[in-house]
Amino acid sequence: MFEQFSALPADPILGLLAEFRADDNPNKIDLGVGVYKDEAGHTAILQAVKEAETRLLRTEESKVYVGPAGTPGFFSTMSELVLGAGHPALTDNRVRGAQTPGGCGALRVLAEFANRAKQGATIWVSDPTWANHVPLLGYAGLNIETYPYYDRATSSLRFDEMYEALKKVPAGDLVLLHGCCHNPCGADLTREQWDLVTELALERGFTPFIDMAYQGFGEGLAEDAYGARVMASKLPEVIIAASCSKNFGLYRERVGLAMVVYANSAQADVGQSQLLSVIRGNYSMPPNHGGAIVETILTDAGLRANWESELSDMRERINSLRTGLVENLVSNGADGDFSFIQRQRGMFSFLGISPEQVARLKKEYSIYIVDSSRINVAGVSQANMQYLTSAIASVI
């Protein structure tokens, strides 16, 4: 049976990480893997998370299953985090969903859910998009198409082309949108552009499928959720996948949210039965620990304030690093305009250099970047900033 298999190539980012770990250069820099790192290059546990875990260990009395949807408290607090307390979709009782094993779990469950509603439905994804979107959505049975999004030559958003392409999306199709901090390019829609896409979705009848993996890492918790909130208030149907990996630092705990906005509460009840059926036939029910941490933080005023402060510190550090990168590239005489890095948001940006230049950075300087030149800005530090920017200047 298994002799028919042929070996598949290693994931490029995981392969790059293995090379980095084997490199003995003391100046080596990893800008590939998409996790937040502090100034020391460490992905620390947030203090609010540590305190929440301490409380859970002290008070938890059972490890019994939590059910396919997870705990009601997790969903209610997370739906308010994404949509905002008092959002009309919540007050109208037309939102349902579930806790999932990470943002990936949310994407896959929601893709299978959409495929149940319309077998072989087409979902339009941005060019470029996060590489794992394609297998997560495609393996669930959805047909993948792309719309223009980012111009690598000018390092800018191709919104006019994107808008013209979305004008041709048929009713009943899905359109994947990055809620904020676009991965891999870091270029986000403005509020005005979100409004235009919302009106277009209403006119054309396509369903937005929003991936909210980095809420709080761009401009702020409310600011980053503008697109999701305006769409959920004006459209009859919206699908939202959210992740707690980055903003709560719960990477290995795998905590995500699958959320669907329906036209009315009756449709929401029916839809929820289908979503729970998808979950039951997939992983049955989610792990509880990470979701309990999130619920504990979001329901305790003190812990929530501490968490929001820590999240703000991470966001401000990333934005400061973006400014520092541009300034140091200029001071080191790097050829070209890198000001776009400062305008973009989140952990990722394309440097806009060639695969050959990326290879030179690895070979000559032990700087590890994927071939597309996407960098994890959070992998930069004040300590390695000068070394990194002078190396980039030397290969351009």
Find the helix or strand (DSSP H, E) in which 162 lies: helix 159-166
345 and 204 in a single domain? The answer is no
pLDDT of residue 302: 98
Q: For residue 177, how many other CB atoms are within 10 A of its CB?
A: 28
246 belongs to the catalytic site = yes
Residue that is written with structure tokens 């980055």 in the block: 246
Q: Could you tell me the mean pLDDT of each successive run of 10 residues in the chain, 396 residues long?
A: 90 85 94 92 96 96 94 96 97 98 98 97 97 96 98 95 98 98 97 98 98 98 98 98 98 98 98 98 96 97 98 97 96 93 96 95 96 95 96 95
By the 8 A CB rule, do 111 and 86 touch?
Answer: no
Q: What is the DSSP letter of 253?
A: G
Q: How many domains does the chain have?
A: 2
Contact 323, 384 (CB under 8 A): no
For residues 30 and 168, state if they share a domain. Answer: no
CA torsion 75-84-232-145 (nearest 10°) is: -70
- Residue corresponding to tokens 């394609």: 134
- Answer yes or no: do 104 and 240 share one domain: yes
Q: Which residue is catalytic, options 30, 37, 130, 224?
A: 130
- Residue 130 annotated in active site: yes
> What residues have CB less than 8 Å from 265, skipping those under 6 apart?
92, 93, 94
Residues 72 and 189 placed together within one structural domain of the fold: yes
Q: Could you say which of 30, 124, 173, 246 is catalytic? A: 246
Would you call 319 helix, strand, or coil by DSSP?
Answer: helix
pLDDT at 11: 81
Task: Please give the pLDDT value at position 13.
Answer: 82
Q: What is the CATH number of the domain that holds 271?
A: 3.40.640.10
Residue 141: helix, strand or coil by DSSP?
coil
Kindly write down the DSSP assignment for every residue of 226-246, as one continuous string: HHHHHHHHH-S-EEEEEE-TT
Give the structural domain span for 153.
Answer: 65-299
pLDDT at 33: 85
| Claim to verify: residue 321 and residue 294 sit in the same structural domain | no
- Domain holding 30: CATH number? 3.90.1150.10
Residue 244 lies in a domain: yes
Nearest CA to 183 out of 269, 125, 117, 143 is that of 125
| Catalytic position from the list 30, 188, 211, 224 | 211
**Residues ≥6 apart with Cβ < 8 Å to 13:** 32, 33, 34, 370
SS3 per-residue string spanning 330-391: HHCCCCCCCCHHHHCCCCEEECCCCHHHHHHHHHHHCEECCCCCEEEHHHCCCCCHHHHHHH
